[in-house]
Amino acid sequence: MELAGDRVPESFVEATGAAIRAGAELDGLLELLAIQMLDALETAGIPSMLLKGPALGRALYGKPGRRPAADVDLLVRAEDLNAAVVVAGRLGYRDTELYRPGERLPLLHRRLVHRQPGLPVLELHWRVHWYEQLFSREMLLRSRPGGIIGTRAAPSDELTGLLLFYARDGFVDLRLACDVGAWWDALGAQLPPRAVAEQIARYPRLERVLVAATEVGDSVVGVPSVELLGEHQKLERRVRLATALANPDAEGDLTQHQSDALLIDLLLTPPGGQRANIKRQLLTPSGTQPGQRSPQRYGPWAAINHGLRLLRRYTLGLLRVAREQIASRHYRVTSRP
């Protein structure tokens, strides 16, 4: 609206204003619930930190309502996850899935709903990406007071988290890309040179995903990958293919977006993790992304059918990349003087 001035249709101005007002109202509710939960966890002696949400939106965009959010995401240590669920239960939240004592950790989080219908979902994370276990824990331990709500991650950790969220969602549309770009505009000057490369040195299992997310962030919103990774970062073939699958225009339907995210996930899996990745994807219910809920074990025929559907969707995503690359080469050839 600022760039286009008087050329913006009045209907667009009204719709934008309505969306911001609605977003600001929801942000207020989410912040109240987050403060309540953070205070309860602190009283119980459980370290925690708010992930994403309206606090990040205000930090990056200056005002509420600019960044869509729908639930409350909190990070706790793995060993505190069950105790945090108990604390949330005292505030009216219940787990939608049954967990037995001693059962292994969920892929990413425990998803809790409130007994009062209509209130936002609470997601208690013990990590932010299924390739890592140490980064999220150390990000929480390194966080310090100074956020709008609770503690805030150190700058390098916060940017790393945003890049991991962007990759985990399959580089689709512009919402998470804009978070990365807005973060760089606001805080990029605070980072040391090659900040992402330093994170990769600390957490080598995140190398492929962080390199891919930084490269996509460069191409989509102009975050300088050379400053974050260094000048001599070599891209593996699988990383190049994952970046080519980025879909900032959100072309295709939701099922294809989810399948592209699964293919990107497979391509960026750390060395030695492919078997576990394929198992996780085959055990993930159709129509959800890995980590969205605990794996549901299929029977053999259902797993085979699910795998065939995945392969078909993988093929469609790869064909889209091939068409775009052919069109790009054709444009370069025909546009030469």
Annotate 255-289 with three-state secondary structure: HHHHHHHHHHHHHCCCCCCHHHHHHHHHCCCCCCC
More confident residue, 293 or 57: 57
Per residue, what are the HEC states of 67-95?
A: CCCCCEEEEECHHHHHHHHHHHHHCCEEE
Average pLDDT over residues 201-211: 96
Domain regions of the chain by residue span: 1-153, 155-337
pLDDT over 80 (residue 9) = yes
- Give the phi and the psi of residue 114 in degrees, each rounded to 5: -90, 150
pLDDT of residue 332: 47
Using DSSP bridges, classify how beta strands 122-125 and 72-76 pair: parallel, antiparallel or unpaired: parallel
How distant, in Å, are the alpha carbons of 8, 258, 332 from that of 13? 7, 32, 38
Which amino acid, 267?
L
Distance CA 179, CA 223 (A): 11
Distance CA(273)–CA(278), nearest Å, equals 9
Residue 132 and residue 137: Cα distance in Å, rounded? 10
Q: For the ranges 106-115, 219-228, 251-260, which has the lowest average pLDDT?
A: 251-260
CA distance 143 to 154: 6
Please give the CATH topology (third level) of the domain spanning 1-153. Answer: Beta Polymerase; domain 2 (3.30.460)
Identify the pLDDT of residue 187: 92
pLDDT at position 10 over 90: yes
Query: With bands split at pLDDT 50, 70 and 90, how would you rate the model's confidence at 330?
Result: very low
More confidently predicted of 127 and 285:
127
Stretch 68-88: mean pLDDT, rounded?
94
SS3 assignment, position 127:
coil
Least confidently predicted of 16-25, 254-263, 269-278, 323-332: 323-332
Among the listed residues 184, 187, 251, the one whose alpha carbon sits nearest the alpha carbon of residue 217: 184
Q: Is pLDDT larger for residue 211 or for residue 253?
A: 211
User: Which one, of 135, 126, 133, lies nearest residue 158 by Cα?
Assistant: 135
CB 98 within 8 A of CB 55: no
Where is average pLDDT lowest: 5-14, 18-27, 146-155, 322-331? 322-331
Judged by average pLDDT, the poorest of 115-119, 149-153, 293-297 is 293-297
DSSP states along 202-271? H-GGGHHHHHHHHHHHHHHH---HHHHH-TTPPPPHHHHHHHHT-BTT--S-HHHHHHHHHHHHHHTPPT
Which helix (H) or strand (E) covers residue 62, if one does? none
Instruction: Say which amino acid occupies 257.
Output: H
Please tell me the predicted confidence (pLDDT) of residue 287. Answer: 37
Neighbours of 334 (CB within 10 A): 7
Question: Would you tell me how many other CB atoms lie within 10 Å of the CB of residue 115?
Answer: 10
Residues 151, 85: Cα–Cα separation, whole Å: 20
Which of the 8 DSSP states describes residue 295?
-
Q: Which pLDDT belongs to residue 302?
A: 64
- Of 194, 186, 185, 237, the closest CA to residue 214 belongs to 194
**Rounded mean pLDDT of 93-115?**
82
Which of 22-26, 201-205, 317-321 has the weakest average pLDDT?
317-321
